[in-house]
Amino acid sequence: MIQLTPTDLSIATLLIVALAITTSLLQLNIAKSILISASRTIIQLTLVGYVLKFIFTEASLLLIGCMSLVMLAIAGYESSSRQHRKFHGYWGFTLGSLSMFVSSFSLTFFTLITIINTDPWYAPQYSIPLLGMMLGNTLNGISLSLDRLTQNTWQQKDVIENRLMMGHTWQDAIKNIQVDSMKSGMTPIINSMSVAGIVSLPGMMTGQILAGANPLDAVKYQILIMLLITAGTGFGTITAVWFGSKRLFDERQRLRLDRLR
């Protein structure tokens, strides 16, 4: 594998600076966000590189478990912070974390035990990258679906309350919004599957090929990852939308928009 030097990365960084300057000239007001996000990417990936090097050397279940929980907590926070209409208190964080735990953690554990079958089953070379990809993609689906759920519920509150007054249950009153929210969360990953290998070469496969792996072996792993990510995003989205919808109503089936901010 060709080693990248600090100079190589500096050239790529200059492209981001050029992009930020261009957006500033166009008055898009996103130059600051681009620079901050790029800086976070560089710092976070550099730090995680050192952490992973240490964890790979130790191969301790305790260390892997702690890092997995940290990843889950950050993903839960990010899923709640991306919504325009957030749940009050810790509900947004709890809802995102629970949904990702149910989907990403369960599927990652299932895959390590039954499909990859490493020895030990928690081998960090497989468990951490797999969980990271699962959480990252599930996070996007859950964020999109919850944002659509809360936004549409807020906008259609009169319609929902009219249905409740006509005797509909809360499930029936919000069903069309639930369906739309779930579709919104799953659409990006479905689109990614549709064009994989034709329009785009997914990141994991590309990385393995650049590292010198057999392209056919890289393809097999990419197929596995794409299917797992889709399943994780789907189940996570369904879980988040269902519990999120339930939170928007009280025990007397009244719409409670005061639970949003």
- DSSP state at residue 60: -
Determine the residue type at 96.
G
List pLDDT tens digits, range 54-63.
888 888 889 9
Is the per-residue pLDDT at 150 higher than 90? Answer: yes
pLDDT (average), residues 231-260: 91
Q: Are residues 255 and 167 located together in one domain of the fold?
A: yes
Q: Are residues 51 and 64 located together in one domain of the fold?
A: no
Cα gap 110→98, rounded to integer Å: 17
Q: What total number of domains does the chain contain?
A: 2
Q: Do 239 and 105 contact (CB within 8 A), yes or no?
A: no
The reported pLDDT for the residue numbered 183 is 94
Q: Are residues 120 and 183 located together in one domain of the fold?
A: yes
Cα gap 104→235, rounded to integer Å: 9
pLDDT (average), residues 32-47: 93
Cα gap 205→38, rounded to integer Å: 23
Indicate the residue among 24, 42, 58 that finishes a domain. 58
- DSSP state at residue 169: -
Q: Are residues 111 and 171 located together in one domain of the fold?
A: yes
Q: Are residues 23 and 128 located together in one domain of the fold?
A: no
- Give the percent of the chain with pLDDT over 70: 100
Indicate the residue among 35, 58, 81 that finishes a domain. 58
Domain span at residue 41 reads 1-58
pLDDT (average), residues 74-93: 84
Cα gap 206→203, rounded to integer Å: 5
**pLDDT tier, 89 (very low <50, low <70, confident <90, very high otherwise):** confident
Q: Are residues 180 and 95 located together in one domain of the fold?
A: yes
The reported pLDDT for the residue numbered 216 is 86
228 or 211, higher pLDDT: 228
- Give the percent of the chain with pLDDT over 90: 52
H runs (alpha helix) in the chain: 6-25, 31-58, 61-81, 91-100, 106-111, 124-155, 157-165, 170-195, 203-210, 215-247
Q: Are residues 43 and 162 located together in one domain of the fold?
A: no
Indicate the residue among 10, 38, 58 that finishes a domain. 58
H runs (alpha helix) in 156-212: 157-165, 170-195, 203-210
The reported pLDDT for the residue numbered 217 is 86
Q: Do 183 and 149 contact (CB within 8 A), yes or no?
A: no
pLDDT (average), residues 139-158: 93
Q: Are residues 23 and 123 located together in one domain of the fold?
A: no
* Closest alpha carbon to 132 in 192, 186, 204: 204
**pLDDT tier, 228 (very low <50, low <70, confident <90, very high otherwise):** very high
The reported pLDDT for the residue numbered 1 is 63
List pLDDT tens digits, range 199-225.
777 777 777 787 777 888 888 888 898
List pLDDT tens digits, range 99-118.
999 888 899 999 999 998 88
Q: Are residues 194 and 113 located together in one domain of the fold?
A: yes
Q: Are residues 67 and 189 located together in one domain of the fold?
A: yes
Q: Which two tokens stand for residue 229?
A: 């990510």
Q: Are residues 231 and 158 located together in one domain of the fold?
A: yes
pLDDT (average), residues 23-29: 92
The reported pLDDT for the residue numbered 214 is 85
Q: Are residues 44 and 170 located together in one domain of the fold?
A: no
The reported pLDDT for the residue numbered 210 is 76
